[in-house]
């Protein structure tokens, strides 16, 4: 991703390894401050995952792989290292997958193996960008929700990848960024990525997306996905369902960008997806300050499920698929 | 409205006059602190309107009428008083209407006239509550958006009036309160009113309303309106359109509660309603703190227009009306 630093404009990943040091973009400080952190031991990496210096499932996976590489380089006990990393975010699927992959390569050069793992994430995202970019025409006004960007996926992003590639190909377009309450990942992270890439955009309250669609001022919506069922129902950040319904009502094409690994073919439909309820404080407080009455409570579902009928197409690294056309993916997935 | 104060539970209006003093609930301090302010001169009332100690169009109208009453009682020049009050919020229709009404009663007892004006607002809201309350059954889960409550309308509210009366009649139900970004009137004011009335509720991110509707966990939606066109299209707080579309998609009855004075029969449809764009900072900052990148911009439409086809019924002080059934209102309106 392009990042404007005090050295000018650089092309950076969310995480990378150079010699004996892994460097990560400190996501806790964004968008207020751009800062990188150098990580030299597996223990430091476990801490960076745990305290959310790095976030986003694919980026956490890469961080776990690099953490194992640091342990290997220092001659540490790999089983102990694996245990330490797995203890950081016990529900992160990619983290477990990456650690076990590194353990399975015991005896190989784990610095190379971790680098290859991160490269594969990046090349999938870039391929998503290449398959999705032709959807974006000059003058388009695109809606996106939450942060399905490079910070979360080492580089390029999923929903943001087609925008990056269309922009780099010289097309001029505009992005409405849903602020994405309660955690404001749109206002904080997506806006930061678009600003650094030089893509024209404006942050809107989540309430305003429908307004612009109803006036015919949105040409296209692209979002990410956390999990996609066999029938095309998908789970993503809370609010995605609302935007999908509004897109259909207003004839706005609605695309989901995600790698094939997001498909869960053990699920026949979205009704099997359990929705995580998060802390009430994410709604009741903003930036640590209470906005609501002292004794009011809140409900805070983190995700919602959007039925496949609202989706125009799924943009994957293997190309574009409509709901009901996943049989070829099932083989490669 | 019921308010829990340090004297126990009281039944208060947003504004009232007792002897030579007008008392208002200080809405700037809510929900953090409940505080009333005593106002003794017309100049003080102009300041209270101007600095938003009082807010909400009908409450501002009552404040303007009481301001004129204070001027009359003190033997001040009524034309000067009218000018001072009209200068406070130059786009507030109710304020101008109330001041001109008081001027037209020159020679009468303006304390009585202002009291009658406020009483009429309250009795209309109470009637809205009586017509709307039968919609609410025991066990219902109701969605509301923004603050169409007693603070804005002297007492009872519009969308909240049916809930107050159903609650006082002993029915138990639950309210989802959309927090209503960007200004958070739901989280701040509606939650405060429901809490004080003793009505069970939870604040949700605006993004979560569709999620609960899609799971069949919302039985009814009631919102207010700022302006209703002849065909039933209506303008209300940004996000109302989104909730109306989602309600229709999920078979949730969607009601609009507003006095007949909200109907603008000079408008044939909602397309004639101009939407106010407000300051970007309402989106970019929350509670005065910036949440977004320094150079990102925002778009901030304050209202949206919901087409009549999404409305199940309009709850007015004259009863319930469906879009297309307004001819009798046109005579009384």
Res. B333 pLDDT band, cuts 50 70 90: very low
Q: Which two tokens stand for residue A228?
A: 């996609």
> Are A69 and A19 spatial neighbours (Cβ–Cβ below 8 Å)?
no
Treating both helix axes as pointing N-terminal to C-terminal, what angle do A160-168 and A110-132 enclose, rounded to 10 degrees?
70
**Which tokens hold the place of A320?**
């574009």
Task: Give Cα A53 distance to the centre of its chain.
Answer: 15
The predicted model gives A141-166 an average pLDDT of 97
CA distance B176 to chain A (A): 9
- Is B286–A291 a contact, with Cβ atoms under 8 angstroms apart? yes
Same domain, A326 and A191: yes
Cα B254 from Cα B271, distance rounded (Å): 21
pLDDT at A288: 79
Q: Are residues A13 and A95 in the same domain?
A: yes
Q: How far apart are CA B206 and CA B209, in angstroms?
A: 6
* Domain match, A110 and A158 both: no
Q: Provide the domain limits for residue A184.
A: 133-332
Question: Which two structure tokens, joined as six digits, stand for B92?
Answer: 């507030």
Residue of A nearest to B195 (CA): A296
Checking if the pLDDT of A333 tops 50, the result is no
- Tell me what percent of the residues of chain A surpass a pLDDT of 90: 89
Mutation site for B-interface testing, chosen from A208, A238, A306 by largest number of B Cβ within 10 Å: A208
Going A174 to B303 to A253 to A256, the CA torsion angle's sign is positive
- CATH number for the domain including B98? 1.20.120.420
The answer to whether residue A326 scores a pLDDT higher than 50 is yes
Contact B175, A253 (CB under 8 A): no
CA-angle at B161, arms to B157 and B14, nearest 5°: 35
Written as one string, the DSSP assignment of A163-194 is HHHHHHTT---EEEEE--TTTTHIIIIIHHHH
- Domain C-terminal end among A78, A105, A124: A124
pLDDT at A117 over 90: yes
Task: Decide if pLDDT at B162 tops 50.
Answer: yes
Residue A286 has what pLDDT? 84
B190 contact A CB<8A: no
For chain B positions 231-270, those within 8 Å of chain A (CB to CB) are 237-239, 241-242, 245-246, 249
Closest CA to A142 of A223, A221, A224: A221
Specify whether B156 is located in the same domain as B73.
no
Order of strands across the sheet that contains B220-223: A297-298, B200-204, B174-178, B141-144, B220-223, B254-257, B313-316, B319-321
Backbone angles phi, psi at B255, to 5 degrees: -110, 145
Q: What CA–CA distance (Å, rounded) separates A85 from B40?
A: 67
| Among the ranges given (A162-176, A184-198, A279-293, B13-27), the one the predictor scored with the smallest mean pLDDT | A279-293
pLDDT at B101: 97
Active-site option among B94, B178, B219, B226: B226
Q: What is the dihedral of CA A103, A316, A50, A33, to 10 degrees?
A: 130
Same domain, B149 and B217: yes
Q: CA neighbours within 13 Å on the CB side: how many for A254?
A: 25
Identify whether A226 is a catalytic site residue. yes
Lowest mean pLDDT among A146-150, A199-203, B92-96: B92-96
Q: Rounding to the nearest 10 degrees, give the CA dihedral for residues B36, B38, B44, B49.
A: 30
Q: Do A111 and A139 sit in the same domain of this protein?
A: no
Residues A203 and A324 grouped into a single domain:
yes
Mean pLDDT for A85-98 is 88
- Beta-carbon separation of A210 and B304 below 8 A: yes
Report the pLDDT averaged over residues B211-224.
Answer: 98
What are the C-alpha distances in Å from A281 to residues A54, A205, B113, B143? 22, 19, 47, 20
Interface contacts (A, B; CB < 8 Å) = 195
Joined tokens for residue A181: 């309450």
Examine the domain organization and report whether B88 and B29 are in the same domain: yes
pLDDT value at residue B331: 64
Q: Which tens digits make up the pLDDT trace of B22-67?
A: 999 999 989 999 999 999 999 999 999 999 999 998 999 999 999 9
Alpha carbons B183 and B185: distance in angstroms, whole number: 6
Mean pLDDT, residues B293-322: 96
Q: Choose among A98, A94, A32: nearest CA to A67.
A: A98
Q: Does A195 lie in the same domain as A70?
A: no
Counting residues of chain B whose pLDDT is more than 70, the rounded percentage is: 99
Contact list in B for residue A283 (CB cut-off 8 A) is 179, 187, 203-205
Reply yes or no on whether the pLDDT at B108 is more than 50: yes
pLDDT at B274: 86
Phi-psi region of B109 (alpha: psi -120 to 50; beta: other; left: phi over 0): beta
**Average pLDDT over chain A, rounded to an integer:** 95
Q: Do B313 and B289 have their domain in common?
A: yes
Note the pLDDT of residue B287.
Answer: 76
We report the CATH number of the domain holding residue B213 as 3.40.50.10470
Residue A331: predicted pLDDT:
64
Inspect the interface and report whether the beta carbons of B203 and A241 lie closer than 8 Å. Answer: no
The 10s digit of each residue's pLDDT in A173-191 is 999 999 999 999 999 999 9
Chain B hits for A206, CB-CB cut-off 8 Å, are: 181, 205-207, 239
Q: Which is nearest to B303 in space by CA: A207, A150, A135, A285? A: A207
Residues of A in contact with B271 (CB under 8 A): none
- Among chain B residues, the shortest Cα distance to A237 is held by B207
Q: Domain tally for chain B?
A: 2
Name the pairing type of β-strands A289-290 and A254-257.
unpaired
Among the three residues A106, A124, A142, which one is the final residue of a domain in this structure? A124
- Domain boundary among the residues A124, A154, A175 is at A124
Rounded average pLDDT over B80-90: 93
Dist. CA A284–CA A50, nearest whole Å: 24
Q: Is the pLDDT of residue B332 over 60?
A: no
Whether residues A140 and A117 share a domain: the answer is: no
Of A177, A237, A299, nearest to B204 by CB-CB distance is A299
Determine how β-strand A254-257 pairs with β-strand B313-316. Answer: unpaired
Q: What is the mean pLDDT of residues A277-286?
A: 93
Return mean pLDDT, chain B: 95
To the question of pTM greater than 0.90 for the whole model, the response is: yes
A312/A269 same-domain check: yes
Mention every residue, 6+ apart, whose C-beta is less than 8 A from residue A193. Answer: A1, A147, A149, A150, A151, A157, A160
- Report ipTM (2 d.p.): 0.94
Query: Binning pLDDT at 50, 70 and 90, where does residue A3 land?
Result: very high
Q: Please compute Rg for chain A using Cα positions.
A: 20
Stretch A282-308: mean pLDDT: 93
Q: What is the pLDDT of residues B249-274, one digit of tens each?
A: 999 999 999 999 899 999 999 998 88
């Amino acid at each position: 991703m392009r990042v404007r630093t005090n050295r000018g404009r650089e092309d950076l990943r969310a995480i990378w390894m150079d010699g004996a040091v892994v460097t990560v973009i400190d996501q806790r400080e964004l968008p207020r401050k751009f800062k990188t952190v150098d990580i030299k031991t597996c223990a430091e990496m476990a801490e960076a995952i745990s305290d959310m210096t790095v976030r986003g499932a694919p980026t956490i996976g890469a961080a776990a792989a690099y953490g194992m590489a640091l342990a290997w380089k220092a001659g540490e006990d790999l089983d102990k290292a694996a245990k330490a990393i797995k203890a950081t975010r016990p529900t992160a699927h990619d983290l477990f997958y990456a650690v076990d992959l590194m353990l399975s390569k015991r005896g190989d050069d784990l610095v190379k193996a971790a680098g290859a793992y991160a490269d594969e994430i990046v090349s999938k995202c870039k391929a998503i960008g290449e398959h999705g970019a032709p959807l974006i025409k000059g003058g388009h006004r695109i809606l996106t929700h939450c942060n399905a960007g490079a910070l979360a996926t080492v580089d390029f992003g999923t929903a943001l990848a087609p925008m990056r590639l269309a922009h780099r190909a010289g097309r001029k377009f505009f992005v409405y960024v849903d602020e994405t309450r309660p955690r404001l990942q749109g206002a904080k992270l997506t806006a930061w990525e678009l600003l650094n890439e030089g893509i024209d955009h404006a942050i809107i309250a989540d309430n305003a997306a429908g307004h612009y669609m109803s006036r015919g001022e949105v040409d296209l919506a692209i979002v990410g996905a956390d999990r996609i069922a066999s029938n095309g129902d998908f789970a993503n950040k809370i609010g995605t369902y609302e935007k999908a319904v509004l897109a259909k009502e207003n004839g706005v094409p609605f695309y989901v960008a995600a790698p094939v690994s997001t498909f869960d073919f053990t699920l026949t439909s979205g009704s099997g997806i359990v929705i995580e309820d998060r802390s009430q404080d994410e709604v009741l407080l903003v930036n640590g300050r209470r906005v609501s009455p002292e004794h009011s409570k809140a409900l805070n579902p983190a995700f919602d499920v959007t039925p496949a009928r609202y989706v125009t197409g799924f943009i994957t690294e293997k190309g574009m698929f409509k709901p009901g056309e996943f049989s070829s993916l099932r083989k490669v997935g």
